[in-house]
Amino acid sequence: MTLAAIPCRTEARPVLRERGQREVFCGLTGIVWLHRKMQDAFFLVVGSRTCAHLIQSAAGVMIFAEPRFGTAILTDRDLAGLADANDELDRVCASLLERRPDIKTLFLVGSCPSEVIKLDLATAAERLSRRFLPQVRVLSYSGSGIETTFTQGEDNALRAMVESCPHDDARQLLVVGCLADVVEDQFQRLFDQLGIGPVSFLPARRAAELPFVGSGTRVLMAQPFNGETGRALTARGARILSAPYPLGVEGTTAWLSAAAREWGISQASLDQVTLAGRERATAALQPHRQKLAGRRLFLMPDSQLEIPIARFLNRELDMQLVEVGTPYLDRQMVDAELDLLPDGVLVSEGQDVERQLDRVRQERPDLTVCGLGLANPLEAEGLSTKWSIELVFTPIQGYEQAADLAGLFARPLERKARLAV
């Protein structure tokens, strides 16, 4: 099916909106994949001991060299005088940057303890940037659990970077969203073969290499949770190319096709450049389709990847969708995806966790995609689950990763089948 032939049903689709207790990680979690990608960046969480424990246990196990994140722990006593807290923050940053000349971008990451909320990190970042530029740029964003679900930490970090991007109205394609290096390289090769360029990535491997932004910038979103970054780029003159996300054969082709149309590349050229990748991915998906076809899927709201994942599993692997939950429904980011979901599927936004768990128990789906905190209780009730956080730690975009993505969902079902024997 070509994109032009897809009917627009977004306006007509009913959405269940829930506003109750949520079960999600906070935006600090994004540091785990962002610090791996940007190798000249350091993330200094300004937070409490809880924040330090979260980030240490989530990311610490992956550290085998000097870490590129840390926590400046604030206490009530620090805030007895805010001036002292700012002095202390400046002292910590200066000593860190003196010890680590490899750091070119320092992110001050806010959190939700009341002690931290009182501190103006944006002003602190400006003050420190004035002191340390041009060697080090200091930026700030919030990873607070009050304001963010776990993928919004990336959105906030990227939006903070957009403000520092130099201005240039030259034509370029800007791919927005943290991608594994291997995926970035594959896409760069495809864009080169199509004759699309220059291409920049945000974030790049080196945070100090900020892309330019201006009226000639065309943006392809690689992750659906970076809506604020997209809007910040639009405010600076860039234009977002509406497309599904590069998950699976269909999503990857439609995503590349949006850029190809903008660059005036013919359908024949697109078909020719993508043929080998499409064929490989289609063949690699086949064994997974045999395991997943007809199985019933419930996606709880967690990563904001739920809608593109549901589209992929439904249209390419024939899974049946019971409910597709998303923490936020950012229509500008997912309209092209919503159009591809089947009629009648329940899309829910936000969460009232007890009511949603009641629906899971009533439906007893074959597979529930959810956060870590809900997976074990559901497994104990005999339901198979998949942790949604794996979707941001695993390379899943593009043709070469399509089968790996399908495998993430096939494995829990295989395990259950083996245990039942």
Q: Please tell me whether residue 119 binds ligand SF4 under the rule CB under 6 A.
A: no
Closer to ligand SF4 by CB, 27 or 246: give it. 27
Position among 31, 44, 86, 113 found at the interface with ligand SF4 (CB under 6 A): 113
Position among 58, 112, 178, 259 found at the interface with ligand SF4 (CB under 6 A): 112
Say how far apart CA 164 and CA 398 lie, in whole Å: 29
Binding characters for ligand SF4, 130-169, by CB under 6 A (x = yes) = -------------xxx------------------------
Q: Please tell me whether residue 54 binds ligand SF4 under the rule CB under 6 A.
A: yes
Query: Cis (ω within 30 of 0) for the bond into 301?
Result: no
Stretch that binds ligand SF4, among 109-117, 152-160, 251-259, 345-353 (CB under 6 A): 109-117
Give the shortest CB-54-to-ligand SF4 separation in angstroms.
Answer: 4
Count of C-beta atoms within a 10 Å radius of residue 39: 14
Stretch that binds ligand SF4, among 12-20, 46-54, 83-91, 202-210 (CB under 6 A): 46-54
Give the shortest CB-116-to-ligand SF4 separation in angstroms.
Answer: 8
Give the residue among 138, 176, 141, 145 at the shortest CA–CA distance from 160: 141
Give the shortest CB-79-to-ligand SF4 separation in angstroms.
Answer: 15
Closer to ligand SF4 by CB, 28 or 406: give it. 28
Closer to ligand SF4 by CB, 86 or 144: give it. 144
Contact in structure between 348 and 310 (CB atoms under 8 Å): no
Q: Residues 231, 235, 241, 246: is their CA dihedral positive or negative?
A: negative
Give the shortest CB-84-to-ligand SF4 separation in angstroms.
Answer: 22
Say how far apart CA 83 and CA 88 lie, in whole Å: 9
Q: Give kind and range of the element (H or E) at residue 174.
A: strand 172-176
Closer to ligand SF4 by CB, 26 or 178: give it. 26
Site for ligand SF4 in 228-257 (CB under 6 A): none
Q: Which amino acid is located at 212 in the chain?
A: F
Q: Please tell me whether residue 108 binds ligand SF4 under the rule CB under 6 A.
A: no
Contact in structure between 244 and 255 (CB atoms under 8 Å): yes
Q: Which amino acid is located at 98 in the chain?
A: E
Closer to ligand SF4 by CB, 114 or 286: give it. 114
Count of C-beta atoms within a 10 Å radius of residue 175: 23
For ligand SF4 (CB under 6 A), the number of binding residues is: 13
Measured between alpha carbons, how far is residue 161 from residues 124, 138, 318 in Å?
A: 16, 10, 39
Q: Half-sphere exposure (CA, 13 Å, Cβ side) for 290? A: 5
Q: Give kind and range of the element (H or E) at residue 59.
A: helix 49-59
Pairing assessment for the beta strands 199-202 and 137-142 based on DSSP bridges = unpaired
Q: What residues does 348 pair with on adjacent strands? A: 16, 325
Stretch that binds ligand SF4, among 80-88, 111-119, 248-256, 268-276 (CB under 6 A): 111-119
Give the residue among 367, 415, 407, 375 at the shortest CA–CA distance from 391: 407
Say how far apart CA 313 and CA 13 lie, in whole Å: 19
Q: Please tell me whether residue 111 binds ligand SF4 under the rule CB under 6 A.
A: yes
Give the shortest CB-246-to-ligand SF4 separation in angstroms.
Answer: 30
Residue whose Cβ sits closest to ligand SF4:
145
Count of C-beta atoms within a 10 Å radius of residue 79: 15
Stretch that binds ligand SF4, among 1-9, 105-113, 373-381, 405-413 (CB under 6 A): 105-113
Give the shortest CB-352-to-ligand SF4 separation in angstroms.
Answer: 19
Q: Please tell me whether residue 26 binds ligand SF4 under the rule CB under 6 A.
A: yes
What secondary structure letter does DSSP report for 400? G
Q: Which residues bind ligand SF4 (CB under 6 A)?
A: 26, 28, 47-48, 50-51, 54, 111-113, 143-145
